[in-house]
Chain A
Amino acid sequence: MSTQTVDQLDAPIAQSSWGLLSWVTTVDHKRVGLLYILFAIFFLVVGGLEAVLMRIQLAVPNNTFLSPEFFNQLFTMHGTTMVFLVGMPIFTGFSNFLVPLMIGAKDVAFPRLNAMSFWMLPFGAFLLYFSFLTGSAPDAGWFSYAPLSTKPYNLDTGIDYWILGLVVAGIGSIAGAINIVATVLCLRAPGMSLQRVPLFVWIMLMQAMLILITIPPLNSAIALLCIDRWLEAAFFEPVRGGSALLWQHFFWIFGHPEVYVFALPAFAMISEVIPVFSRKPIYGYAFVAGSSTVILLLSYGVWAHHMFAVGLGTSANIFFSAMTMLIALPTGVKIFNWTATMWGGAIQLTTAMLFAIAFLIQFVIGGLTGIMFAAVPIDWQMTDTYFVVAHFHYVLIGGILFAVFAAIYYWFPKITGHMLDERLGKWQFWLWVIGFNGTFMVQHFLGAMGMPRRVFTYADNPGWATLNAISSYSVIFMVLGTLVLVWNVVKSLIDGEKAGNNPWDAFTLEWATTSPPPTENFTSLPEIKSRRPVWDQTHPDHADWKHSKTPEDRGRRPDRARVCAWAFVISEAIFFALLIIAYVVFNFDQTGDGPSAVNSLNVERTGIFTLFLLSSSLTFMVAERSLRLGRQASFVTWLGITILFGVVFLAGQAWEYTDLLTSGVAIDTNLFASTFFTVTGFHGLHVTGGLVALAIMFALGRKQRVTQAQSKPFGAIGIYWHFVDVVWIVVFATIYLRVYQS
Chain B
Amino acid sequence: MFPVFQPESPQAQAIYDLFVIVLVISGVILAIVSLLVIIAIWRGRAKATLPEQDFGSHKSEIFWLVGPTIVVIWITAISAKLVLTINAVPKVHLSEAEAGEPNITVTGHQWWWEVQHDDSGIVAANEIYIPVGKRLRVKLQSADVIHCFWVPQLARKMDVIPGHDNYIWLEANKPGTYQGRCAEFCGTQHAWMNFKVYALESDEYSKWETNAKKAAADPVRADALAGKQLFFAHTCVNCHTIEGTEAEATIGPDLTHIASRKEIGGGVLENSTANLKLWMKNPQAIKPGSKMPDFNFNDRQVDQLVAYLESLE
B37 at the A/B interface (Cβ < 8 Å)?
A: yes
Are A372 and B182 in touch, CB under 8 angstroms? no
Question: What are 19 A-B contacts defined by CB distance under 8 Å?
Answer: A72-B190, A141-B185, A148-B186, A153-B110, A242-B163, A244-B163, A284-B55, A285-B56, A310-B166, A317-B83, A318-B83, A328-B68, A343-B40, A361-B37, A364-B29, A375-B18, A384-B148, A447-B4, A448-B5
Write out the residue numbers on chain B whose beta carbons fall within 8 Å of the beta carbon of A185: none
Are B61 and A336 in touch, CB under 8 angstroms? yes
Write out the residue numbers on chain A whose beta carbons fall within 8 Å of the beta carbon of B150: 384, 450, 452
B92 at the A/B interface (Cβ < 8 Å)?
A: no
Write out the residue numbers on chain B whose beta carbons fall within 8 Å of the beta carbon of A375: 18, 22, 75-76, 78-79
A494 at the A/B interface (Cβ < 8 Å)?
A: no
In the complex, chain B residues 18-61 whose Cβ is within 8 Å of any chain A Cβ: 18-19, 22-23, 26, 29-30, 33-34, 36-37, 40-41, 43-45, 47-58, 60-61
From residue A467, how far is it (CB to closest CB) to chain B in Å?
Answer: 10
Are B19 and A381 in touch, CB under 8 angstroms? yes
Contacting chain B: which of A175-183, A453-461, A616-624, A670-678? A453-461
Knowing A285-B55, A345-B44, A347-B40, the reply to whether A452 touches B181 (Cβ < 8 A) is: yes
Knowing A321-B80, A450-B3, the reply to whether A339 touches B40 (Cβ < 8 A) is: yes
Knowing A309-B148, A368-B29, the reply to whether A349 touches B41 (Cβ < 8 A) is: yes
Are B76 and A325 in touch, CB under 8 angstroms? yes
Write out the residue numbers on chain B whose beta carbons fall within 8 Å of the beta carbon of A148: 145-146, 185-187
* Contact partner, A239, options B5, B50, B162, Cβ 8 Å: B162
Write out the residue numbers on chain A whose beta carbons fall within 8 Å of the beta carbon of B30: 361, 364-365, 368
User: Which chain A residue has the least Cβ–Cβ distance from B180?
Assistant: A450
In the complex, chain B residues 127-182 whose Cβ is within 8 Å of any chain A Cβ: 144-146, 148, 150, 152, 156-159, 161-164, 166-167, 179, 181-182
| 11 further A-B pairs in the complex, CB-CB below 8 A; given A278-B44, A371-B26, A383-B183 | A244-B162, A279-B50, A285-B56, A310-B161, A310-B164, A311-B166, A311-B167, A342-B41, A345-B40, A448-B2, A448-B5
* Contact partner, A343, options B36, B53, B164, B288, Cβ 8 Å: B36
A245 at the A/B interface (Cβ < 8 Å)?
A: yes
From residue B96, how far is it (CB to closest CB) to chain A in Å?
Answer: 9
A510 at the A/B interface (Cβ < 8 Å)?
A: no
Contacting chain B: which of A196-204, A513-521, A542-550, A706-714? A542-550
A-B complex: 6 closest residue pairs judged by Cβ atoms? A238-B163, A347-B44, A284-B56, A455-B191, A375-B79, A380-B156
Which chain A residues have a beta carbon within 8 Å of chain B's beta carbons? 67-69, 72, 139-141, 145, 147-148, 153, 238-239, 242-245, 278-287, 309-311, 314, 317-318, 321-322, 325-326, 328-329, 332-333, 335-337, 339-340, 342-349, 357, 360-361, 364-365, 368-369, 371-372, 374-378, 380-385, 445, 447-450, 452-459, 461-463, 539, 542, 544, 547-548
Knowing A318-B83, A336-B64, A456-B191, the reply to whether A147 touches B144 (Cβ < 8 A) is: yes
B14 at the A/B interface (Cβ < 8 Å)?
A: yes
* Contact partner, B55, options A328, A382, A383, A548, Cβ 8 Å: A548
From residue B15, how far is it (CB to closest CB) to chain A in Å?
Answer: 4
Are B181 and A329 in touch, CB under 8 angstroms? no
B220 at the A/B interface (Cβ < 8 Å)?
A: no
Write out the residue numbers on chain A whose beta carbons fall within 8 Å of the beta carbon of B40: 339, 342-345, 347
Are A381 and B166 in touch, CB under 8 angstroms? no
From residue A354, how far is it (CB to closest CB) to chain B in Å?
Answer: 10
User: Which chain B residue has the least Cβ–Cβ distance from A385?
Assistant: B183
Write out the residue numbers on chain B whose beta carbons fall within 8 Å of the beta carbon of A376: 79-80, 82-83
From residue B286, how far is it (CB to closest CB) to chain A in Å?
Answer: 11
B209 at the A/B interface (Cβ < 8 Å)?
A: no
Are A377 and B163 in touch, CB under 8 angstroms? no
Are A372 and B191 in touch, CB under 8 angstroms? no
A346 to B58, CA, bound (A): 23
A457 to B26, CA, bound (A): 31
* Contact partner, B65, options A333, A357, A369, Cβ 8 Å: A333
Write out the residue numbers on chain A whose beta carbons fall within 8 Å of the beta carbon of B162: 147, 238-239, 244
Are A281 and B157 in touch, CB under 8 angstroms? no
* Contact partner, A372, options B19, B34, B194, Cβ 8 Å: B19
* Contact partner, B19, options A340, A378, A455, Cβ 8 Å: A378
* Contact partner, B183, options A282, A369, A378, A384, Cβ 8 Å: A384
From residue A521, how far is it (CB to closest CB) to chain B in Å?
Answer: 28
Write out the residue numbers on chain B whose beta carbons fall within 8 Å of the beta carbon of A286: 56, 58
User: Which chain B residue has the least Cβ–Cβ distance from A147?
Assistant: B145
From residue A104, how far is it (CB to closest CB) to chain B in Å?
Answer: 22
User: Which chain B residue has the least Cβ–Cβ distance from A68?
Assistant: B188
From residue A17, how far is it (CB to closest CB) to chain B in Å?
Answer: 44
Over the window 234-273 of chain B, the binary record of Cβ atoms lying under 8 Å from chain A Cβ atoms (1 yes, 0 no) is: 0000000000000000000000000000000001000000
From residue B282, how far is it (CB to closest CB) to chain A in Å?
Answer: 15
Write out the residue numbers on chain A whose beta carbons fall within 8 Å of the beta carbon of B80: 318, 321-322, 376
B310 at the A/B interface (Cβ < 8 Å)?
A: no
A220 to B145, CA, bound (A): 22
Knowing A339-B33, A360-B33, A448-B2, the reply to whether A346 touches B83 (Cβ < 8 A) is: no
Are B64 and A347 in touch, CB under 8 angstroms? no
Knowing A287-B56, A310-B159, A321-B83, the reply to whether A333 touches B146 (Cβ < 8 A) is: no
A348 to B44, CA, bound (A): 8
User: Which chain A residue has the least Cβ–Cβ distance from B44?
Assistant: A347
Write out the residue numbers on chain B whose beta carbons fall within 8 Å of the beta carbon of A548: 55
Knowing A284-B61, A329-B68, A378-B79, the reply to whether A339 touches B36 (Cβ < 8 A) is: yes
A140 to B110, CA, bound (A): 14
User: Which chain B residue has the least Cβ–Cβ distance from A71?
Assistant: B191
A346 to B53, CA, bound (A): 11
* Contact partner, A311, options B37, B152, B159, B185, Cβ 8 Å: B159
Are A339 and B68 in touch, CB under 8 angstroms? no
* Contact partner, B33, options A361, A377, A384, Cβ 8 Å: A361
Write out the residue numbers on chain A whose beta carbons fall within 8 Å of the beta carbon of B29: 364, 368
Are B4 and A448 in touch, CB under 8 angstroms? yes
Knowing A311-B161, A325-B75, A339-B37, the reply to whether A378 touches B22 (Cβ < 8 A) is: yes
B210 at the A/B interface (Cβ < 8 Å)?
A: no
Are B79 and A377 in touch, CB under 8 angstroms? yes
In the complex, chain B residues 185-238 whose Cβ is within 8 Å of any chain A Cβ: 185-191, 194
Write out the residue numbers on chain B whose beta carbons fall within 8 Å of the beta carbon of A445: 2
Knowing A322-B80, A345-B40, A371-B26, the reply to whether A245 touches B164 (Cβ < 8 A) is: yes
| Residue from the set B40, B194, B288 with the largest chain A CB neighbour count within 10 Å | B40
B274 at the A/B interface (Cβ < 8 Å)?
A: no
Knowing A325-B75, A329-B69, A384-B184, the reply to whether A69 touches B289 (Cβ < 8 A) is: yes
Are B50 and A542 in touch, CB under 8 angstroms? yes
B104 at the A/B interface (Cβ < 8 Å)?
A: no
Write out the residue numbers on chain A whose beta carbons fall within 8 Å of the beta carbon of B43: 344
User: Which chain B residue has the least Cβ–Cβ distance from A323?
Assistant: B76
Write out the residue numbers on chain B whose beta carbons fall within 8 Å of the beta carbon of A278: 44, 51
Write out the residue numbers on chain A whose beta carbons fall within 8 Å of the beta carbon of B179: 450, 461
A146 to B164, CA, bound (A): 13
Are A344 and B1 in touch, CB under 8 angstroms? no
User: Which chain B residue has the least Cβ–Cβ distance from A152?
Assistant: B144
Are A309 and B2 in touch, CB under 8 angstroms? no
Are B181 and A345 in touch, CB under 8 angstroms? no
Are A378 and B15 in touch, CB under 8 angstroms? yes
From residue A18, how far is it (CB to closest CB) to chain B in Å?
Answer: 40
From residue A557, how far is it (CB to closest CB) to chain B in Å?
Answer: 27
A282 to B36, CA, bound (A): 17
Are B18 and A345 in touch, CB under 8 angstroms? no
Over the window 280-307 of chain B, the binary record of Cβ atoms lying under 8 Å from chain A Cβ atoms (1 yes, 0 no) is: 0000000011000000000000000000
A589 to B33, CA, bound (A): 53
Write out the residue numbers on chain A whose beta carbons fall within 8 Å of the beta carbon of B289: 68-69
A332 to B19, CA, bound (A): 20
A284 to B54, CA, bound (A): 9
User: Which chain B residue has the least Cβ–Cβ distance from A348?
Assistant: B45
From residue A95, how far is it (CB to closest CB) to chain B in Å?
Answer: 25
B86 at the A/B interface (Cβ < 8 Å)?
A: yes
Are B158 and A309 in touch, CB under 8 angstroms? yes
A438 to B289, CA, bound (A): 33
